[in-house]
């Protein structure tokens, strides 16, 4: 990653992760509201349901060594480690997140290790993990091909890679309009993203790298209600006080939640899934 982008992502999550945990809990990702997006459920349960639905979709029933790429404060890592009785390793660019994830693992007495590392240059040997998990981190990667290549490299033969990431709509038939590009640029600026690509582009990259049994799916409808719920909960008194303490970048992100909401509504933003084996 470029140093500037690396620093922007680190600073964004260093500043905002404590507030997110205080207001919304340990899972820093979308929730699942049924295939049609109509199921009513508590937000944290929806986030847990997303993890379970991803595992079901990818037909993962066991794992022993798990890598969580972009682990946040360890929400998915600890959940998966406990579910499978596995050892989990999580990487993040944020020292604040890594430290909090370690504390949470110790408190829960779950075998998990967390460190600050770049997903484009992972400090792990080839064939190290039987499950590589990336839940909403791919959008931060400036080199999507290098990211998938690294995930493939550290995956054990026969192991499974699961990725869920922000995408833009497919452009094979209709290119992005100037207005859509402007909308995406606003999202990039607020959430420290270099760029996103479409799900078919991810699939093509994964095929070229050598992933087998590739599958993709668009879950945009199932997760889009998450942003409505976050917006509704973002402006209570505790959240407002926390935002002020967290600084301008976090405040800007909160004020810009509607960018993602409108992106889903207009069909520009997509929640893309990809799984494959080595």
Query: What DSSP letter does each residue of 87-125 carry, written as one string?
Result: EEEEEES-HHHHHHHHHHHHHHT--EEEEE--TTS-SS-
3-class secondary structure, 157: strand
Is the per-residue pLDDT at 276 higher than 80?
yes
How many angstroms separate the Cα of 252 from the Cα of each of 16, 189, 231, 241, 257?
Answer: 11, 10, 13, 14, 9
CATH 3.30.300.30 is the classification of domain 3-277? no
Q: How do residues 6-50 score in pLDDT, each as one tens digit?
A: 998 998 888 878 877 877 789 989 999 999 999 999 989 999 999
Q: How do residues 73-107 score in pLDDT, each as one tens digit?
A: 999 999 999 999 999 999 999 999 999 999 999 99
Contact 152, 127 (CB under 8 A): no
Instruction: Please state, in angstroms and rounded to a whole number, the distance separating the CA atoms of residues 278 and 273.
Output: 17
Confidence class for position 232, pLDDT limits 50, 70, 90: confident
* pTM of the full structure: 0.93
Q: What is the pLDDT of residue 2?
A: 64
Q: What is the pLDDT of residue 246?
A: 57
């Amino acid at each position: 990653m470029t140093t500037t982008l690396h620093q922007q992502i680190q600073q964004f999550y260093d500043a905002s992760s404590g507030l997110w945990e205080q207001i919304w809990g340990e899972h820093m990702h979308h929730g699942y509201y049924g295939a049609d997006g109509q199921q009513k459920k508590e937000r944290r349960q929806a986030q847990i349901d997303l993890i379970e639905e991803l595992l079901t979709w990818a037909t993962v029933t066991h794992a022993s060594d798990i890598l969580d790429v972009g682990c946040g404060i360890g929400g998915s890592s600890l959940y998966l480690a406990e579910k499978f009785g596995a050892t989990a390793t999580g990487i993040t660019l944020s020292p604040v997140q890594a430290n909090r994830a370690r504390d949470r693992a110790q408190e829960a007495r779950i075998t998990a290790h967390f460190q600050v590392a770049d997903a484009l240059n992972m400090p792990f040997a080839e064939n190290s993990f039987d499950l590589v998990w990336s839940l909403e981190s791919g959008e931060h990667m400036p080199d999507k091909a290098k990211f998938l290549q690294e995930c493939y490299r550290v995956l054990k033969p026969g192991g499974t890679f699961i990725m869920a990431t922000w995408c833009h709509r497919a452009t094979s038939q209709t290119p992005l309009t100037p207005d859509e590009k402007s909308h995406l640029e606003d999202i990039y600026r607020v959430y420290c993203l270099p760029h996103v690509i479409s799900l078919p582009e991810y699939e093509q990259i994964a095929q070229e790298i050598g992933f087998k049994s590739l599958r993709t799916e668009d879950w945009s409808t199932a997760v889009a209600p998450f942003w409505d719920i976050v917006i509704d909960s973002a402006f209570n008194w505790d959240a407002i006080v926390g935002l002020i303490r967290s600084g301008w970048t976090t405040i800007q992100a909160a004020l810009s939640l509607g960018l993602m909401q409108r992106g889903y509504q207009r069909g520009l933003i997509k929640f893309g899934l990809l799984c494959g084996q080595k």
